[in-house]
Amino acid sequence: MTGSPPLSKLGIPADYGKDPRLPRYDEAVDLVPVESDMFGRVQRLAPDTARDWQTMKQAALEDGTELLIVSGFRSIAYQVELFRNKLAAGQTIDTILRVNAAPGFSQHHTGKAIDMATPGYRPLTEEFEDSPAFVWLEANARRFGFAMPYGRDNMYGISYEPWHWSQL
């Protein structure tokens, strides 16, 4: 994690990622812009993931399902700022770690993870699992190399994230 503070400076326990076991992820260096997210920010992904995302998004649309990108690549420095902002807003480190992987442990660092949304459903909430988009993803995402790593009671101990799909 070159250029970022030690995890302890954020209040993250020294044994973070050991139990349950969480993999570390290197930051992607080869990224391509894919599209603007629902907030107008241009999102970037690894080239193969970008291609597969576009193909999957088009296939879903042809089936009457609209997929939107909320978040793609996230640098380690961005993850650090995310933690700092949440801490400054009064959240505890334990609360943050239930919903965000520590810097260096986020699949978003790879450029191969996407947080998705669909019109009519609040983004980044469990409500997404009730959407036709989630049903479509469960039936079709594997054809495009995507899986949902943070299902209920997942082995990583991360909160259930039906909107988070990756190609890892």
CATH number of the domain encompassing residue 53 = 3.30.1380.10
> Using one digit for the tens of pLDDT, what is the confidence trace for 63-119?
999 999 999 999 999 999 999 999 999 999 999 998 899 999 999 999 999 999 999
Q: Please answer whether residues 115 and 70 qualify as being in contact, where contact means their C-beta atoms are separated by less than 8 angstroms.
A: yes
Does 117 fall in a domain? yes
pTM over 0.85: yes
Task: Count how many domains the chain has.
Answer: 1
Does 134 fall in a domain? yes
* Three-state secondary structure readout of 49-75: HHHHHHHHHHHHHHCCCCCEEEECCCC
pLDDT of residue 76: 95
> Using one digit for the tens of pLDDT, what is the confidence trace for 18-49?
988 999 999 999 999 999 998 899 999 999 99
Distances (CA, A) of 129 to 111, 118, 121, 138: 23, 11, 9, 10
**Any idea how long the chain is?**
168
Flag whether pLDDT at 5 surpasses 80: no
